[in-house]
C-alpha cells in the first residue's frame, strides 16, 4: 500500500479519485487548494503526489517547482486539461514525472501510478490478483483461469481488474461505467451489459455459478472468495 497525496480543486473529482485509489489499496490525503497543500506537503510523508494544474489560488506547477526547489524527490503526476505539447513540456520540465490529461480513464491512471511507484521502489499493492484459479496480473496485462490464458478485450480486462480489486461489493451500472470508461465516452447501460456478458463467457466455467452476479435493480457483484 502506498500513501498518495492528491491536490485537486474539483471537489467531486477529488472525492472520486480518493475513492478509486482507496479501492486499489492505497492511503490517500486529499486537499483542494494551494494554501492547504503547501503546509501538508512540508510535514507529511507520502509515496506519490497527484497535482491538478489549475487550482483556485495558484497552480500545481507553482507547488511542484517549490517542492523540487526544496529538495522534494517524491514522484509527481500532473493531472490537467491542458493538452498542448508546450504545456506538457513545461509541466515535465518543472519536475513532473508523468502527465495525464483530462478526461482520463481511472484504469489508465492506476496503471501509470503503479509504474511510477515501481520505478521509485515505493510500496505497491499486490500486482497479482487471484480468486480461486482465476488469476489477473494488471502489470503484465495477463489473465488466466485454470492455467488457460484468457483473451480479453481492453474494457473486459479493465472490468475484471476492477471487480477483483473490489470483490463482494455491489456496483451500479453508472459506477462501473465511470470507473472503466473516460468521462467523454458516451456509454449506455446496454453496452456495459454486453461487455459483462462477454466477460462472463470467458471467465466462467460450465456448470458453475457465474463469478459476476446481477443484483436486480442495483447492479453487479463479483463473488470473490
95: which 3 cell numbers? Answer: 519536475
Domains and their CATH numbers in the chain: 3-119 (3.40.50.2300), 129-222 (1.10.10.10)
Cell 488466466 belongs to which residue? 144
Res 1 pLDDT > 80: no
Q: How far apart are CA 183 and CA 134, in angstroms?
A: 30
Res 90 pLDDT > 90: no
Rounded mean pLDDT, 172-191: 80
| CB atoms inside a 10 Å sphere around CB 143 | 24
Give this prediction's pTM: 0.60
pLDDT for 27 = 81
Residues in contact with 83: Cβ distance below 8 Å, sequence separation at least 6, in sequence order: 101
Cα angle at 181 between 28 and 188, to 5 degrees?
A: 135
Give per-residue burial for 158-170: e unless 16+ CB within 10 Å, then b.
Answer: bbbbbbbbbeeee
Distances (CA, A) of 107 to 72, 135, 153, 177: 27, 18, 14, 11
Kindly report, residue by residue over 95-123, the tens digit of the pLDDT.
Answer: 999 988 888 888 888 888 888 888 877 65
Q: Is residue 158 within 8 Å of 180, Cβ to Cβ?
A: yes
pLDDT for 76 = 93
Q: What percent of the chain has pLDDT over 70?
A: 94
Kindly report, residue by residue over 29-76, the tens digit of the pLDDT.
Answer: 899 888 889 888 888 888 899 999 888 888 889 899 999 998 888 999
Amino acid at each position: 500500500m502506498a500513501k498518495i497525496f492528491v491536490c485537486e480543486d474539483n471537489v467531486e473529482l477529488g472525492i472520486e479519485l480518493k475513492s478509486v485509489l482507496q479501492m486499489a489499496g492505497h492511503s490517500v490525503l486529499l486537499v483542494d487548494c494551494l494554501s492547504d497543500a503547501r503546509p501538508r506537503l512540508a510535514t507529511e510523508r507520502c509515496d506519490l503526489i497527484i497535482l491538478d494544474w489549475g487550482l483556485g489560488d495558484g497552480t500545481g506547477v507553482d507547488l511542484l517547482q517549490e517542492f523540487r526547489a526544496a529538495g522534494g524527490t517524491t514522484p509527481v503526476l500532473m493531472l490537467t486539461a491542458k493538452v498542448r505539447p508546450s504545456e506538457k513540456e513545461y509541466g515535465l520540465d518543472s519536475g513532473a514525472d508523468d502527465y495525464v490529461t483530462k478526461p482520463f480513464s481511472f484504469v489508465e491512471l492506476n496503471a501509470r501510478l503503479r509504474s511510477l511507484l515501481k520505478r521509485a521502489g515505493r510500496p505497491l499493492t499486490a500486482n497479482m490478483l487471484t480468486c480461486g484459479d482465476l488469476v489477473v496480473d494488471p502489470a503484465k496485462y495477463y489473465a488466466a483461469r485454470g492455467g488457460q490464458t484468457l483473451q480479453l478485450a481492453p474494457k473486459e480486462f479493465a472490468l475484471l481488474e476492477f471487480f477483483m480489486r473490489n470483490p463482494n461489493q455491489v456496483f451500479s451500472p453508472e459506477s462501473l461505467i465511470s470507473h472503466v470508461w473516460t468521462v467523454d465516452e458516451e456509454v449506455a447501460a446496454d453496452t456495459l451489459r454486453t461487455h459483462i456478458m462477454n466477460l462472463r463467457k470467458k471467465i466462467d466455467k460450465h456448470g458453475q455459478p457465474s463469478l459476476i452476479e446481477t443484483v436486480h435493480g442495483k447492479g453487479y457483484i463479483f463473488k470473490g472468495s
